[in-house]
């Protein structure tokens, strides 16, 4: 595979509105954009969606920056790869650091698809020309306004961020605004074994699913809860790899899996999880990370695979940002996003705006 340079950019974009969960509040979104360039001038783009602090996973933006520069870049220079799928095996010895891996691998997939003059969705076997969009409702004071705007745009699935002890109140508040709203809740691992009875009480609320009730890696409690609940449990933070997904499904710890490219270590791992879930009749959906249009474009390609039967966290670019990193923002129309049909991820990055929003960069030669 022809790769000449890797350019890393730390970028920060202000959010239109604060994004609130029980874990904290974001006012701006910082990410690392990875740009892989070949000798012909083609560029592939990837995105590292780690957060500044380790509240979601152990990774942070700074640890990912270190891994990319000090571990992964020298590895790429030492061991040239022929296909982006080789990257997963090449970095398998690196424990954790899934988001750093995913950002680099994403740039390689985009570049490779452009070199082959095909879309990324086509390259990985996608079967959909459009994907259904779902929205995240944060703990804000504009819930009614948000719901009406999102419903008008055709969003079909709504993920509500909740606080422990106030779930019923918050769910009923959303249902009062629109009784037909298809709601799931995201717990972000806030429950413990002592909360099992409380969790069981939510089984009567008609939720689509409850996402990640218990701590990451706790397949035991998820299994105990799922065995006693009609509401499907969905795993998010617990599934950090293909091995985690396989373990969760074999144990019966969930009935749905949320696949995030960055969380599982890259597109190849995400495809493997999709295929395993499909073989075991476990529906999947594509999660979001309050990311830019670059990462969204990768997610859309992934969500074009056949077992993504639940609308994902695939919102319009202007859902979080006044201006995205793309010339033409990603838009939800009638609840769907058309899969970009250009080469690679199929979107055009606004290079001048990317440079403007970059506050630190690193350029590494591969050859």
Judge whether 196 and 224 are in contact, CB under 8 Å: yes
Picking from 261, 235, 262, the residue whose alpha carbon sits closest to that of residue 250 is 235
Q: Which position among 37, 101, 114, 260 bears the catalytic label?
A: 260
* CA distances in angstroms from 192 to 152, 189, 216, listed in the order given: 37, 8, 11
The reply to whether 260 belongs to the active site is: yes
Beta bridge partners of 25: 20
Judge whether 292 and 31 are in contact, CB under 8 Å: yes
Q: Which position among 37, 159, 161, 296 bears the catalytic label?
A: 161
The reply to whether 323 belongs to the active site is: no
**CA geometry: angle 94, 99, 100, nearest 5 deg:** 60
Picking from 253, 257, 209, 258, the residue whose alpha carbon sits closest to that of residue 232 is 209
* CA distances in angstroms from 323 to 210, 226, 260, listed in the order given: 32, 41, 23
267-279 and 242-251 helices, crossing angle to 10°: 20
Which residues are known catalytic residues?
A: 161, 260
């Amino acid at each position: 595979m022809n790769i000449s340079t890797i350019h890393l950019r730390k970028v920060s974009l202000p959010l239109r509105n604060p994004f609130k969960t029980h874990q904290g509040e974001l006012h701006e979104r910082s990410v690392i954009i990875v740009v892989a360039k070949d000798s012909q001038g083609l560029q592939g783009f990837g995105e590292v969606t780690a957060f500044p602090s380790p509240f979601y996973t152990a990774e942070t933006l700074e640890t990912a920056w270190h891994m990319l520069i000090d571990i992964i870049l020298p590895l790429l220079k030492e061991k040239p790869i022929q296909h982006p799928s080789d990257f997963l095996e090449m970095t398998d010895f690196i424990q954790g650091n899934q988001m750093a891996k995913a950002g680099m691998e994403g740039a390689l997939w985009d570049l490779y698809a452009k070199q082959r003059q095909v879309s990324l969705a086509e390259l990985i076997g996608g079967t959909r020309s459009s994907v259904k969009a779902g929205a995240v409702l944060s703990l804000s004071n504009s819930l009614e306004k948000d719901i009406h705007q999102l419903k008008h745009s055709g969003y079909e699935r709504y993920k509500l961020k909740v606080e422990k002890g106030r779930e019923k109140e918050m769910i009923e508040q959303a249902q009062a605004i629109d009784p037909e709203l298809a709601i799931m809740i995201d717990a972000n691992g806030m429950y413990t074994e002592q909360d099992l009875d409380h969790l069981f009480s939510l089984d009567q609320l008609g939720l689509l699913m409850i996402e990640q009730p218990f701590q990451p890696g706790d397949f035991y409690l998820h299994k105990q809860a799922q065995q006693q609940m009609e509401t499907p449990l969905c795993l998010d933070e617990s599934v950090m790899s293909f091995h985690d997904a396989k373990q969760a499904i074999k144990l019966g710890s969930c009935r749905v899996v949320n696949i995030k490219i960055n969380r599982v270590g890259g597109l190849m791992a995400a495809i493997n999880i999709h295929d395993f879930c499909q073989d075991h009749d476990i529906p999947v959906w594509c999660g979001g990370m309050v990311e830019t249009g670059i990462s969204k474009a990768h997610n859309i390609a992934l969500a074009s695979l056949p077992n993504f039967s639940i609308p994902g966290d695939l919102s319009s670019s202007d859902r979080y940002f006044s201006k995205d990193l793309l010339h033409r923002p990603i838009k939800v129309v009638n609840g769907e996003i058309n899969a970009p049909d250009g080469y690679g991820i199929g979107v055009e990055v606004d290079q001048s705006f990317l440079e403007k929003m970059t506050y630190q960069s690193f350029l590494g030669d591969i050859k």
